[in-house]
Structures are given as structure tokens and as C-alpha cells.
Structure 1
Amino acid sequence: MEREGKALAADELDGQHRHAPGVASVHVRVIVTWLAIFPLVAVGMTVMGLFANGWSPVLRALLLTAVVVPTTVYFVVPKLLLAYGRLSRRRQMP
């Protein structure tokens, strides 16, 4: 969406206080991101507990985030946002 020739960020509002069409609000993106990260971290910590007990916490965090962050950003969050968009469009249909 543009305002005076300038593109709006995903969480900015236009002059009529509307979000850009098809863009989830920052609040929805926070919830979606948490829903993506929490299960991945829980599973990752459980699996790492099988082989990384003696590792330093920094090394465990490095390995866990090296797997969780790309998985979340490239796969899980886009799928969750797509599902959210489909649900929100269904609600808006008469």
C-alpha cells in the first residue's frame, strides 16, 4: 500500500486508519511467530537432551537457534501466515 508515493510498512496505517490489504498486523505476526518457535524449541531441547548434556549452554543455544531460526523463517511462519490469511478472508466473505 502506498501513501503519497511512499510504501507503507506492514504495520503502518493509511490515512483512513486501515492496514495494507492482505497484510497481517504486527500483533498477529507476533502470535504466529511464537506459535512457530515454541514447539520447535520444545522439541529441539528434548532431542538435544539425548546427546548434548555435557555441552556448554552457549553451544547448545547456538545449535538450537541454527536449526530453529531458519526453519521458522523459511517454512513455518509463511505457512501459518498463509493459513491466517485464508481464515481471515473466509470470515470477511458474506
Structure 2
Amino acid sequence: MQSTVSRTAATIPTAPAPAPANAAPVSGGLPSIHMRVFITWLAVYPSITIVQMLLGPSLENLSVPVRVLIITGLVVPVVVYALVPVLLKTRAALLRLRRP
């Protein structure tokens, strides 16, 4: 039984080692974690603010957890699938324009 386990363990591929936290982004790759946090915030804050302004009056009779559930249920997919990718592409385009 032990030999079977060791053979099985030897055939399982391992994930590549993660890059060090202070490593510079690869050309054409994702920006640093700090830039991604900023880009995500740049998408989240205005989205929550706009949805709260639009839906706030109609949701005021609901409890806070239900309001937050509805607002985040609308905002998170929009941010993840639409806004962050657009902001990342815009950043990449702006960086390409700056290069000689």
C-alpha cells in the first residue's frame, strides 16, 4: 500500500512557486497587487455610491443586511466582469502609449 501512495504522489503535478511579493510585474502581465487594489477600489466605490443613490430610497424600509445583500449582489458582478477588466485594459493602453 505504501508503494502505491508514493507512486501516486510522484505523479501529481505541483503548482509553480509564487513570485516574491516585491517582484516587478512581467511585461504585459498583471499590475502589482497594490495597483490591482487601487483599480478595484476605483471600480467599487463609485459603483456602490451610484447604486445606493439610485436604489436607496426604494430600499430604505428593508433591514441593513438585506439592503447590503441587494446592493452587493448588483455591484460585485458588474465590477468583476465589466469595470475591472475595462480599467485594466485602459491602464495597459495608457502604458503602451507612454513607451517610446
TM-score by length of 1: 0.79
How many residues align structurally?
85
Distance 1:49 1:74, change over 3 A: same
CA contact (8 A) 1:32 1:80 kept: yes
Seq. identity, %: 36
Q: Which of 18, 25, 28 is the aligned partner of 1:19?
A: 25
> RMSD over aligned Cα, in angstroms?
2.1
Verify: 1:72 aligned to 2:72, yes or no.
no
Q: Which runs of 5 or more residues in structure 1 are unaligned?
A: none
Superposed CA deviations along residues 17-72 of structure 1, whole A, max 9, x for unmatched, are: x3222221111111111110111100111112221111000000000000000000
Distance in 1 separating the partners of 2:27 and 2:69 = 37
Once the two structures are superposed, the pairs formed by residues 37-48 of structure 1 within 5 Å of their partners are 37-48=44-55
Q: Which has the higher contact order (CA 8 A, sep 6+)?
A: 2
* Structure 2 gap ranges (5+): 1-14
8 Å contact from structure 1 (residues 8, 20) kept in 2: no
Aligned-partner residue type, residue 34 of structure 2: H
- CA change 1:55–1:37 in 2 (3 A) is same
Bigger radius of gyration among the two: 2
Name the residue aligned to 1:53.
Answer: 60
**Which contiguous aligned blocks of 4+ residues in structure 1 show a shift greater than 4 angstroms?**
none
Could you say which structure has the higher strand fraction? 1
